[in-house]
């Protein structure tokens, strides 16, 4: 099983898949109904490097935990809050948007849409390539290697049909990749 970045935070009882489970926030039966997330601060490379000195990047790290354990809709939501906090433009925002696209591909796989999986993975790859060009010659941003992510997303897009899994299980890992930002890079 995957390593947890925030092991003290419990996972929801199910990963939201439209049409299969109650909407997490708008349905009173949803796993996050009534929960108000605290606003997040923009994630910068400087703050990322300082993270080892006690600052916690909860939405960023929480998104990785969720993604790696099959909670794709929830990872999308965690990272989307950061994307908005970053102003939705620039390399940091584009990197986060690429992660959002990987999570969206996981949701589409659970919904049974191989074309949706392919489309989101290819858009994620484009965003990671854009980030790689923007940070050149640096290889890392926010603990990740954008070019490696782009290559992996394109490879998975070629196999989108194989990722589809419409099981009624509450959580299913469909993305054959684990994401871990590496502290001390860049």
Full-model pTM: 0.93
For the segment 79-117, what is each residue's pLDDT rounded down to a tens digit?
999 999 999 999 999 999 999 999 999 999 999 999 999
If DSSP codes are grouped into helix, strand and coil, which group holds residue 40? Answer: coil
Query: Residue 135 pLDDT more than 80?
Result: yes
User: What is the mean predicted confidence (pLDDT) over 115-140?
Assistant: 95
**Domains of the chain by range and CATH?**
57-161 (1.10.3450.10)
Closest CA to 95 of 41, 42, 141: 141
- As a whole number of angstroms, the distance between CA 78 and CA 83 comes to 9
* CB-based burial label for 54 (10 Å; 0-12, 13-18, 19+): exposed
In the chain, % of residues over pLDDT 70: 92
Given CA atoms 88, 180, 104, 12 in this order, what sign does their dihedral have? negative
For the segment 57-83, what is each residue's pLDDT rounded down to a tens digit?
688 889 999 999 999 999 999 999 999
Whether the bond between 137 and the residue before it is cis, its omega within 30 degrees of 0, is yes
Query: Residue 130 pLDDT more than 90?
Result: yes
Q: Which two tokens stand for residue 106?
A: 């996981």
In the chain, % of residues over pLDDT 90: 73
Predicted confidence band of residue 53 (pLDDT cuts 50, 70, 90): very low
Q: Which two tokens stand for residue 61?
A: 């790290």
Query: Residue 186 pLDDT more than 80?
Result: no
């Amino acid at each position: 099983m995957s390593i947890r970045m925030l092991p003290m935070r419990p996972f929801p009882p199910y990963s939201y898949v439209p049409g299969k489970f109650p909407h997490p926030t708008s349905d009173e039966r949803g796993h996050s109904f009534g929960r108000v997330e605290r606003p997040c601060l923009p994630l910068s490379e400087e703050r990322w490097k300082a993270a080892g000195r006690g600052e916690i990047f909860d939405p960023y790290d929480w998104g990785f935990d969720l993604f790696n354990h099959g909670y794709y809709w929830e990872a999308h939501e965690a990272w989307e809050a950061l994307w908005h906090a970053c102003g939705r433009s620039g390399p940091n925002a584009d990197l986060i948007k690429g992660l959002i696209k990987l999570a969206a591909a996981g949701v589409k796989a659970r919904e049974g849409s191989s074309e949706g999986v392919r489309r989101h993975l290819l858009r994620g790859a484009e965003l990671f390539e854009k980030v790689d060009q923007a940070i050149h010659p640096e290889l890392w941003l926010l603990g990740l290697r954008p070019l490696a992510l782009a290559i992996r997303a394109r490879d998975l897009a070629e196999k989108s049909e194989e990722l589809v899994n419409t099981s009624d299980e509450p959580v299913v890992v469909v993305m054959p990749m684990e994401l871990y930002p590496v502290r001390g890079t860049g």
